[in-house]
Structure 1
Amino acid sequence: MTAVARNNVKIHGDGTRTLMFAHGYGCDQSMWRAMIPAFEKDFRLILFDYVGAGDSDFSAFDRTHYSSLRGYAEDVLEIIEELKVGGITFVGHSVSSMIGALAAIEKPSYFENLIMIGPSPSYINDGDYKGGFDRSDIEGLLDLLDSNHLGWSATMAPLIMGTDQSPELIGELEASFCRTDPRFAQHFARVTFLSDNRADLPKVTTKTLILQCEKDMIAPIHVGEYVNRCLPNSQFEMLQATGHCPHMSAPQEVIDQIRRFL
């Protein structure tokens, strides 16, 4: 099976420069739909689903291959190689920020830019580093996900989207969480929330834009600032948007920042 088929790759636009959009945990490529019209006239857009998400091929899921974020980064590189494209601007939401970073470390020549929306290299507090959660908090969330997938989805969707966002957006995120296969959701949650990629950040040489929101319970402001300090070639932009999903709740602001950066 090709990576393009396995990851349900969709291509929009026919511009000379390429944007690759990578969704966050519990989501799929449909979460980028508000961004597509703004870029498809001038860019070639690559959208895809990670294995286990959206309309990807679930039979391709392998616990060993996907035991760390590097397995997902390898899939990103395989998609790029099959499509025979280069000079990519990789736009990663949440955990995909680190997946993109790992891919760019492995094959820096493939990437022109990285754009990280709400990145976090580690979600767990560790000494002077404040990731936002104690390990016991993360373990509790993972236990809830294992025992009550629908309950976890209903609890976490408003917290992740932002409690001040519209009920429609919160409902859309909850629905996305709910329709994700529980086996994949549980596995990817552990890989995501127990990962620690702090040591990888200084290895990223690709020019990077970090987009940060206020009131982001998943990736607080000081985490985005930490990522900016650790990346040797990055710039940090604070959005007026709140919550963890500004590409859904405030797409125009994200579009404007990306266009300015490019």
Structure 2
Amino acid sequence: MHGGSDRVSPCRVALRRAVTVAGMTENSFWTCLPQAQVRGSGEYTVTVVLPPFPDQSGDWPPNDPERAREFAASFGTVDAVLDYHGEQNISDGFSLTTRDDLDWIQVGVWGNVIGISDPALADDGNSWPVLEQVRNLAERFPGAKIIGSATVDRGETHEEAAWVVPGVEPVHSEGWPVEDDPSRWTLEGDPQAVLDACGVTPQMAKEADVAYDPDDPTSTYWGGLGELILGVHRPWRRRKVRTSVFRVRHTHDATDLMEEVWISDQGAY
């Protein structure tokens, strides 16, 4: 169920190639056609809250498209930003139908909050891209609160979360809830210490139906806990918040992982 290194994607039948878009040459790392079918669905976000953590419970600051583009270009899964396609409501998201849809990301910079939604963050348990990008961002933004989460469902769900909160040991959680075996779940750090540091009470978690069970991490909705940690700085449930939309070329490694996770013809994991 966890295997990824020995899978053969249908994309491998095509040669890597160069294509011309709007008068420029795009060196593509994909090995399949844009029409290749995406299999599965998911959510995949990283949110950065820069100190001094201002109260944004009221009016949400507008998106800054210029800063959003700068962040997109510097994000670890992105090799180059190819096109800017304006803004859209954060709730609109993208429907992943074909390989071409995997080249689109959403990025918003709202005052002290930065958010990105990128399908390259999804994993099958072998690469841990959320942890990698959260660590990279922690080095870039010391003192920031950084919450990353990704789930992908292809008949069975894989979930990964990584949290960095100032003054507390980082947390990384990863596994397959369907296995219902805590011994096979990756969990590093002390989630309860992070929740306490961010003022997330057991009652708050219970009301959100995401209570943390230290004895059974497989039953915890890690993405939901991450949203509670973000609190008033949580952008992803604000339906009218605007984000910038970019078409990007992902890095070679990120592209290979997306072919494995999203395009592989192995069916459910």
TM range (shorter): under 0.3
Larger Rg: 2
Structure (1/2) with the larger strand percentage? 2
Structure (1/2) with the larger helix percentage? 1
**Normalising by structure 2, what TM-score?**
0.24
**Normalising by structure 1, what TM-score?**
0.25
